[in-house]
Amino acid sequence: MPVGPNEYKVMSNNLDPQTDPHEPSIYEIRIRGHLGYQWADWFEGLTITLEDNGDTLLTGPVLDQAALHGLLRKVRDLGTPLLAVIRLETVEQKNKT
């Protein structure tokens, strides 16, 4: 559902019973601009994908919310615009497929 400039999307307070909050999740972090592959270590081994549109995708497992906030702080410190953060699946869900 699209959210307009004067609308707010409300987050649910219900936990997803399909996921374990202690299980690492796979995240995709999209930032504007291309990062060099030498940044992979700084971003704790996330896969760096350079998109044709000029964006960079950082993809990989993130241990917990504290680790996710640490990654987002690094994006902020680079001064690179953050475009999106998407939780794709847990590591356990990925291993089942």
Number of residues that make up the chain: 97
Domains of the chain, earliest start first: 25-96 (3.30.70)
pLDDT of 88 above 50: yes
Q: Is the pLDDT of residue 21 over 90?
A: no
Higher pLDDT, 61 or 6: 61
Cβ-contact 58, 48 below 8 angstroms: yes
Burial state string for 19-49 with b = 16 or more CB within 10 A and e = fewer than 16:
eeeeebbbbbbbbeeebeeeeeeebeebebe
